[in-house]
Structure 1
Amino acid sequence: MAFAPGMRPVGDKLVTVFGGSGFIGRHVVRALAREGWRIRVAVRNPSLAGHLQPLGGVGQIVAIQANLRFRESVAQAARGSDAVVNLVGILAESGKQSFDAIQGEGPRIVAEAAHAAGAARFVQMSAIGADRESKGRYGRSKAAGEEAALSVYPDAVILRPSVVFGPEDNFFNRFAAMARFSPALPLIGGGRTRFQPVFVGDVARVVALAVGGEAEGGPAPYELGGPKVLTFEEILRYVLKETGRHRMLLNVPFAVARLQAKVLQLLPNAPLTVDQVAMLESDNVVSDEARATGHTLEGLGVSPTPIEAVAPSYLVRFRKAGQFDKVRQA
C-alpha cells in the first residue's frame, strides 16, 4: 500500500470518532489517518460520510451508524476501541436535538460506552465559553458535558477551541455569503466581542496528539486559540476586505439583537438565535490560566496558523468574479 508523504503505515490501534463527518471531524480523521490509526467514524447517517474515505488508505477509515439517543448504537460503535473521541455538538437546537441532550448528557453516554469497551483514552471536544454560569444554554451544556465526561474518565482530555476557521467553516463563510446580498452587516453589541480564531487543522492536530497520549488529561482543559485576538468588528472588516465588498456595518445593541433573534430563530436554519446573542456578550479568547499552565496550542508544540495563511484561499469564491477578481490591497 502506498502512503502519502509524512503518513505513517496503518497500525493495529483503533480509534472511534463520534461526529467525525462534520467540519472539524473531517480534519480530525485526516490527522489521525496520517498517524496510522485505524479509524471508525460513528455518525447518524454513514451514507453521508463517503467524503472521508480518500483521507486514508484502503480500509483504514470505516463509517458506522450511531445516534446518541440510542445507547446500544453508541456501545456498538465503541466496541474494541483503544481510544474514543467525541466531537458531537450543535450550534442551534432543533426538535429532539437539544443542547442538554447532545452536549450535556451526550458525552456521558459516549464516555460510558468507551469505558465499557476498555478504551484507554477519551477526548472530549468542548468550547471556550463552557461555563456552568454562562448566559447561554450552549455554554452551560458544554460545561455539563465536560463534567459528565470527567465523571467517567477522570483523565479525559478536554479541548476548548475558540471560533474555528477553515474551508468549510460556518463563521467566515457565513458573513462572506451575507455580504454578497445584504447592504449591511450587523455589529451585534457594537462588534466589541473578542475572538481568537483557530485553524481547524491545528485543532485536529491537537486531537491526534491527545489520542496518542501526548496531552495531559484531567479537569484542566486545553484552550485553543490562534495567534491573533480580533474583535467581531475587525473580523467583519477582514471578511469584507478579502471578498472585495463594501458594506455598511450596522451597530445592533444586544437588547435589539435579542428581540430580532426571537423571530429569526423560528425560521428553518435560523440565522440567529437568542442563545447565540447571549454567547456574544462574553469574549471568546484563551484564558491567562491556560497560558500559564501550557494548556494551549503552543504548550503542545503546535504553532498557531494565522487567518491570513488560510482564509483568503476559500473566501476568494465570494468575490464578484471569484478567483479572477483582482482585489486591491490597501
Structure 2
Amino acid sequence: MSKLVTIFGGSGFVGRYIAQQLAMKGWRVRVAVRRPNEALHVRPYGAVGQVEPVFCNIRNDASVEAVTRGSDAVVNCVGTFDRTGKNNFDAVQADGAERVARIAAAHGVKNLVHISALGVDRDELSEYARTKRAGEAGILAQFPSAMILRPSVIFGQEDGFFNRFASMSRMGPIFPLMGGNTKFQPVYVMDVANAAVMGVQGKASGIYELGGPETKTLRGWIDVILAEVHRTKPVFNAPMFVGRMMAWGLDLMQTLTFGIARNGLITRDQVKQLKTDNVVQEGAKTFADLGIVATAPEAVIESYLWRYRPSGQYDAIRDSAKNLNI
C-alpha cells in the first residue's frame, strides 16, 4: 500500500504544490483544512481517491489526531496574518504548530515538515515572528528530527507578492511604497515544495533557510515588476512613521467594525516586519545542501504578470505593430 501524508493547510498556496508533487510520487495525500468543500481543487492532483480534502481545526487536539492517525508523514503549512480572533498568531502559529508535532510524535509519524518563515529568528519586534519562533521551538521539543523550512517571500502563479504589487501598479499616477530599503530574496514555490518533499521522504531534517538566487531591496523588486508589466511611473518611498500611522488607522477601522472592514493593505505588525531584511543568513543550511538549484523570479513571473500590462496579453502584439511599415 502506498504511504500516507497529511498536509495541514494543504489547499493553500504552498500546500497545494506539495500535495501535487507527493501525489505524482505515488503518495496518498490527506489535505487537512477547515473548509474541505472549498478545497476540492486538490482532488485532480492524483488518481481518484488519492488526494482527499478532510476537515481539521488545528486548534483542537481531537481534530488534529483524527487526521494524523495512520499517517507516515505530516506537513504543516498553516500560518496566519490575523492578530486577533480565534485563529490568531498564538493559536495558529505557536500552539497549533506544537499541537501538530506533539500528536504526530504520539502516533509514531516518521517524518514531519514545518513551513516557517525567513528572518523570524532575527525579528524581535513583530508578533508574527514571535509566534513563528514559538512554533518552531514547540515542534523541535516534540519532534526533534523535524525539518523546518524558512522561506523568504514565495512567488508563483498565486503569490501575494509580485501579484499584489503588479496590481498596485495600475492605480494612480505614482507608486506608493513603504520599507523600500528592506531586502528580499524571493523563492519559487515549486522549489519550496521540492524541499518539503525531501523532508517527507526522510531525506533531510533540520532547519533550512530558503532564498532565491537574487537579493534586491523592495524598491529594486518594484522596478522589476514595473518593467515586467510595461508601466513607467515614479515610486514614492514613504517614511516608516507614515506607514505606522496608516497601519494604525486601518487596524483601528477593522477593530471598530468587528472585522467587517478588513485591513488587507498593511497592518502595524507588517510595518514592524519591514524593519528586518528577509534574506538568508551566512552559514545557514540552504537549497544547496538539498541539491536544489533555486529558480530566478525573472524566469517565472512573466508567465503570470502579463495580465497587469496595459493591454494584457495583447501588449506584445501592440508593440510589434509599432514596427510595421505601412
TM-score by length of 2: 0.92
What letter corresponds to residue 213 of structure 1 in structure 2? G
Give the 5 Å matches for 1:76-87: 76-87=66-77
CA distance in 2: counterparts of 1:232 and 1:173, whole angstroms: 14
How far has the Cα of 1:215 moved from its partner?
Answer: 0.9
2:2 is matched with which residue? 12
How far has the Cα of 1:132 moved from its partner?
Answer: 7.3
Secondary structure in 2 aligned to 1:208?
helix
| Alignment deviations for residues 19-70 of structure 1 (CA, whole Å, 9 cap, x no partner) | 0000111111111112211110100000011111111122110111001122
Aligned residue pairs, count: 311
Moved more, 103-112 or 14-23: 103-112
| Alignment deviations for residues 122-154 of structure 1 (CA, whole Å, 9 cap, x no partner) | 111100121276211111111000000011001
1:6 is matched with which residue? none
How far has the Cα of 1:328 moved from its partner?
Answer: 6.6
Question: Which consecutive unaligned segments of at least 5 residues does structure 2 have?
Answer: 255-260, 321-326
Question: Which consecutive unaligned segments of at least 5 residues does structure 1 have?
Answer: 1-10
TM-score by length of 1: 0.91
Residue 32 (str. 1) matches residue 18 (str. 2) = no
2:258 is matched with which residue? none
Moved more, 194-203 or 319-328: 319-328
**Between the two proteins, what is the percent identity of the paired residues?**
48
231, 238, 241: which one pairs with 1:245?
A: 231
| Alignment deviations for residues 147-176 of structure 1 (CA, whole Å, 9 cap, x no partner) | 000110011111000000000001111111
CA distance in 2: counterparts of 1:321 and 1:236, whole angstroms: 20
1:257 is matched with which residue? 243
1:194 is matched with which residue? 183
25, 33, 54: which one pairs with 2:44?
A: 54
2:323 is matched with which residue? none
How far has the Cα of 1:299 moved from its partner?
Answer: 1.3
2:277 is matched with which residue? 283
171, 196, 206: which one pairs with 2:195?
A: 206
For the Cα contact (< 8 Å) 1:18–1:43, is it kept in 2? yes
What letter corresponds to residue 245 of structure 2 in structure 1? L
What letter corresponds to residue 200 of structure 1 in structure 2? V
What letter corresponds to residue 252 of structure 1 in structure 2? A
For the Cα contact (< 8 Å) 1:23–1:169, is it kept in 2? yes
4+ residue stretches of structure 1 with deviation over 3 A?
none
What letter corresponds to residue 115 of structure 2 in structure 1? M
CA distance in 1: counterparts of 2:101 and 2:178, whole angstroms: 37
For the Cα contact (< 8 Å) 2:59–2:95, is it kept in 1? no
